[in-house]
Amino acid sequence: MRFWAAIVGFFLLTAADLLLQPGALAAQGNRVALVIGNSKYVYAPALPNPASDARLMADVLRKVGFNVIEGVDLDYAGMRDRLNKFTEASYDADTALIYYAGHGMQVNGKNYLIPVDAELTAPAHLKTRTVQMDELLAALPPDPAVGIVILDACRDNPLARTLAASLPKSRSTTAPGLAPIDVSGSDVGTGGVLIAFATDPGAVSYDGGGANSPYTASLAKHLAEPGVELQSALTRVRGEVTAETNGKQRPWHNASLGREVFIGPQTPQPPAPVQPAPQPSATATPAESASSDGRGWEIEQRVWDEASKRNTLAHYEAYLQQFPNGAFADLARLNIDQLKKQPTTVVANTQSETSVGNRRGISGRRAQAGSRRRDRTDGKRDRA
């Protein structure tokens, strides 16, 4: 009976896995993305993360079926070229996504993205040397498509300070970060629009110590999670980045979506199949007995609880044999390494102490038995 249950379970899991293949993702329709990362600025210090961030996001989106138009370290002409290609490629798309990492700025409540060759020394340069946020929104496909714009562009910007010095004080103002964008206007179609920033409007975001910024690293982790809706994924990103930066950076998004949107597969990933275990013997441990009842996560939790309670090489290795990719696999391997590093004398002493304890217990039981025998003998003598 267990054999046939295992066979049926195998085919069910195989079928579920097939549903998550690229063919299943195609059911989400035609999806196009524009991904740009600008790091090497001519008139400002280079940024460490945007180019790597763009490559990471492009890879994530390609894996879930997006046609990705990608650009790294683009000048003004290059950004215009990629934006035009995206506009044409996404015109009939069901979902269109724009991701930009690099320098951005706000002036008079409007947002601007800055190419790597931009030198901003006069007010007119905002029109002739930057790409306006309004142009990104205009590039999104018409209703009923879903439009998504994600900006990791809220960094401290020396180009904005240079421009601010040239602006008329009475008419123009710059501010840190990006300005909030209202997506509830009458021009928003039934598909809707979502705008996401690396941090709250008017605030400054941070580069990471590694290849990627805290925001994009978290975004790549959660955006395409199977079974996780877009806004839920962004909520997870907000919580993770806020915790990582000790509250200094809080990602923000604003949406007017007309339906749920899934970047990754809409169906959650099935759990890893549990290998069928042999029939438990009379001397089987509780972990071995639990492994044969077919209850997935509950089984794994029981096996791990038993292993951690026993804290022996044998029990941790038994857990890994049954769940090599389990939730506690890394911890099991770490515990195995630590147990193997313990000096053998410790084990010997432990065994010696145990043996002594056993001998003491045996001697005590023998002494008690002898005492009882003497009591019985004395009693017989008294009666005599």
118-167 per-position pLDDT tens digit? 988 888 898 999 999 999 999 999 888 999 999 998 876 667 666 765 55
Query: One-letter amino acid identity for 168?
Result: P
**Residue 152 bridge partners (DSSP):** 101
pTM over 0.85: no
Residue 73 has pLDDT above 60, yes or no: yes
Give the start-end residues of each E strand in 224-352: 252-255
Highest mean pLDDT among 142-146, 194-198, 299-303: 194-198
Residue 377 has pLDDT above 50, yes or no: no
Predicted confidence at residue 12, as pLDDT, reads 40
Residue 370 has pLDDT above 80, yes or no: no
Alpha helix positions (H), 64-111: 76-89
DSSP H or E run through 51: helix 50-63
Query: One-letter amino acid identity for 155?
Result: R
Provide mean pLDDT across the span 190-209.
89
Residue 44 has pLDDT above 50, yes or no: yes
- Average pLDDT, whole number, for the chain? 78
Predicted confidence at residue 2, as pLDDT, reads 43
Question: Does the 14-255 domain belong in CATH 3.40.50.1460?
Answer: yes
For residues 137 and 86, give the distance between their C-alpha atoms in angstroms, rounded to a whole number: 12
Q: Domain spans of the chain?
A: 14-255, 286-341
Predicted confidence at residue 164, as pLDDT, reads 65
Predicted confidence at residue 330, as pLDDT, reads 82
**Residue pLDDT, tens place only, 289-298:** 444 444 566 7
More confident residue, 233 or 207: 233
Q: How far is CA 94 from the centre of its chain?
A: 25
Predicted confidence at residue 307, as pLDDT, reads 80
